Chains A and B, each alone.
Chain A
Amino acid sequence: MAITEKVGTPGGWPPTPDDADGRMWTNRLRTRIVGTFPPEKLLPDRQPAYVASWIYVFGVATIAAFILLVVSGLVLSAEGPAWYHKSTAGHFVNSVHFWSVQLFMLSMVVHIWGKFWMAAWRGNRAMTWITGVVAFFASIGTAFTGYLVQSNFESQWISFEAKDGLNAIGVGAWFNVANVGQMLLLHVCLLPVVVGVIVVWHVLLVRKHGVVPPLPLKADRPREATDGTGVSSRPDEAVQTRGMAS
């Protein structure tokens, strides 16, 4: 449709499916996005009372470490692959990158184990689990290519050792661990973007479905229940009668 046709005042919100505004692709997409991720779901200020354990911080810790990795990686990329061998500043940035990898993978592994013991795939959350595991595998690939492009003894040895397994399953013919150029481009261009996209997808699924509720205790002895009053005895807890939009 010509965009000059029937230009008028914007329709009301939300547009109804029957009017011209409601049939616009733009409005349909906006309605879908806002419906799936209303602001209070995307950036909630309340969480279910059971979200009260240190295990919950490892998800956000993983994201924080990922941001550190991207920032330190961008500095390393801007200066070029030989910089950190020759410059004290470059070596320090590389060290930050190196330890960020360790912190990132440690946080992610603890996060995954935590979610495993919560059986966090319950309640239509299987895709949340799957995207998390895919993020883990993509992170392994990203870290692995990082080790390969260090252009030092370690990268020589890892590429020599890793080639045999990859060749054995036919992957080595296309993913040549001794081809520094190929590994460098995969490490700085493709794989971080893959990890980033999957992590964003994963976080959106968590926001959409909410944090998985507790498994049942074998001994069902409700204590300090809200007894229908809608008010918990804890000062920082209150029953949200409309429920968490999760």
Chain B
Amino acid sequence: MSARRKTSDDVAAQPWAGPVRRYDIVKEFVIALVVMSVLATILAAAFSSPDEKALTFQGWGATAADNLYATTVGELAGSTESAGYGPPYNDAGEGIAVGPLKPQKWMGVRIPVDPANDFVITPLKSQEQPAAVATALQAWEAATPEQRQAWAAALDEAIQATADADGALHPDQVAAGDYGPVPDLATGLVAMATSGALDGAMLSRGGFYSSDATQQILFLGDGSYLDDAATAQNLQGNTWGMMNGVNSYPGQPWLWWASLWYQIPTFNPAEDATTTTSLQDNADAWIFYIIGVISLLILFLPFIPGLRSIPRWIPVYRLIWRTYYRRHGNSHLV
């Protein structure tokens, strides 16, 4: 018997030569499968699962027509989030960056989206329109880009000026001005949405099959309809939205270590903040890089001095192996 005391790493690297016990792993697996099946079935039967119906443009038009009208004008004016997004949808901006790291810009426009045409003009042209809308479409198409921009921006600005104390917009109260065909185009799109026709037009885009909802998602997100619904369900990112599901169902709680960063003021400005920092403006990039670094730390933890020693410093292992220690102490190191 060697007098030298082995380290736990010595022992761990060698085939186990100490005491053993019967262990029926096949039985363990079958029991685990039965228990998990019973648990999942009971949970499914007792609590069902979330399936809140998808929002529609018809619903948007019916319940928040003013917001849809204002958003439509914003798409024509190029003032919405989608219109100014940048890559991968358009070249209206460079996207967000961290210092010289600009992968959003580097990847380029791979999923082209032209909000004015894709969300407004093309759907309007996809079906026969009332005379006023048809005339407005002709006027829009005959105008120069500068003229279109002047009309739409003027109406957009006038609508923003109607905001009340709660931030709600009132397009029916806009000041008189030269808005060209834009009011009729927006009215036409709202009518199309309310009738349900816009959902079909956005889905098919002149084709038959569709499996890509990028344009619908971007258009919905430009208004307040989707955002308000998410707030009502407590799904906003700054309220641990990733971890929450609709109607109090669990979401993805295993993402707490990613969601955490969206909760701190360093990255998340206060609701009433009038200015934002660079960290806040580029929070998505910063947070995703932080998530990447954390992921690498977890992945390569066995090789990182300090981190890999935490289990020795905080002896949770005494609890895990308490039965073994009680019977055998450190005999496996002797």
Binding site for B on A (CB under 8 A): 43-53, 55, 57, 60-61, 63-65, 67-68, 72, 84-85, 91-92, 94-100, 102-103, 105, 109, 114, 116-119, 121-126, 129-130, 133-134, 137, 140, 143-144, 147, 150-157, 159-161, 163-170, 172-174, 176, 178-182, 184, 210, 212-218, 220-226, 232-234, 236-241, 243-246
Contacts and interface: CB of A to CB of B under 8 A. Distances in A.
A99 B214 contact: no
Given A57-B28, A140-B255, A217-B329, A123 B9 contact: yes
B8 A224 contact: no
Given A118-B317, A179-B213, 5 more contacts: A67-B33, A123-B9, A140-B254, A157-B226, A169-B285
Given A64-B36, A98-B44, A214-B332, A180 B211 contact: yes
Contacts of B96: 168
Most A Cβ at <10 Å: residue of B21, B54, B250, B298: B21
B311 A160 contact: no
Interface in B71-110: 87-88, 95-96, 103-104, 106-108, 110
Contact of B230 (A91, A134, A157): A157
A166 B315 CA distance: 38
B55 interface: yes
A176 B107 CA distance: 13
B308 A92 contact: no
A237 B20 contact: yes
18 contacts: A114-B320, A116-B311, A122-B9, A122-B13, A147-B252, A156-B213, A157-B226, A160-B217, A160-B221, A168-B285, A168-B288, A170-B104, A174-B107, A214-B317, A216-B330, A220-B333, A234-B21, A245-B15
A98 B106 CA distance: 37
Contacts of A102: 43, 250
Contacts of B208: none
A124 B13 contact: yes
Given A55-B320, A152-B53, A48 B285 contact: no
A223 B327 contact: yes
B332 A210 contact: no
A27 B51 CA distance: 54
B234 to A, nearest CB: 11
Contacts of A130: 299-300, 302
Contact of A239 (B9, B18, B111): B18
B324 A49 contact: yes
A174 B321 CA distance: 46
Interface string B241-264: 100011001111111000000000
B312 A119 contact: yes
Given A92-B44, A153-B54, A48 B16 contact: yes
Given A154-B245, A237-B20, A119 B317 contact: yes
Most B Cβ at <10 Å: residue of A43, A122, A218, A226? A122
Given A109-B254, A176-B111, A213-B8, A161 B32 contact: no
Contact of A153 (B32, B35, B229): B229
Nearest to B229: A153
A237 B33 contact: no
B220 interface: yes
Contacts of A224: 327-329
Contact of B110 (A105, A114, A123, A174): A174
A236 B22 contact: yes
B11 interface: yes
Contacts of B216: 178
B281 to A, nearest CB: 11
A166 B87 CA distance: 11
B146 interface: no
Contact of A210 (B9, B16, B321): B16
Interface in B5-27: 7-9, 11-26
Contacts of B51: 84-85, 91, 94, 150, 152
B59 to A, nearest CB: 10
A29 B83 CA distance: 59
Contacts of B39: 99, 103
